[in-house]
Amino acid sequence: MVETETYTVTGPDGDEDTFELPAGLVDVFSEQGEQKSKVISDVVVQTMAQQAHMLVHHSQGEVPADIQEMNAAAEELFEERFGEPLSEALGHSH
């Protein structure tokens, strides 16, 4: 069996979730000297921004205003973190 590494995410209310990934997988996505927690948090920010984008721009029907606002905020946070707009990272815009 493949060895694993355990990570824990703590929410703003103090709730926690623990998960395992194959040992070395996070290293595949890291730059030299980058902390594993930074790699994991980058993936979370990227994934959440992409999922919010999908809800707003690729769903059928009307999207509630609060979801649209969350998407706009996620796009701003993505750009602050990665230095490029989400639309460029995704290769398309709306």
pLDDT band (50, 70, 90) for residue 74: very high
> Looking at residue 1, what is its pLDDT?
84
Q: 25 Cβ partners below 8 Å, 6+ apart?
A: 5
Q: What is the Cα Rg of the chain in Å?
A: 16
Backbone φ and ψ for 60, nearest 5 degrees, come out as: -90, 145
Q: Which segments within 1-94 are labelled E, that is strand?
A: 4-10, 16-22
pLDDT at 94 exceeding the cut of 90: no
User: 16 lies in which domain range?
Assistant: 4-90
Domain count, the chain: 1
With vertex at residue 31, the alpha carbon angle to CA 37 and CA 22, rounded to the nearest 5 degrees, is: 55
Tens digit of each residue's pLDDT (9 = 90 or more) over 10-61? 999 999 999 999 999 999 999 999 999 999 999 999 999 999 999 999 989 9
Distance CA 17, CA 62 (A): 32
| CB 43, CB 29: distance < 8 Å | yes
pLDDT band (50, 70, 90) for residue 85: very high
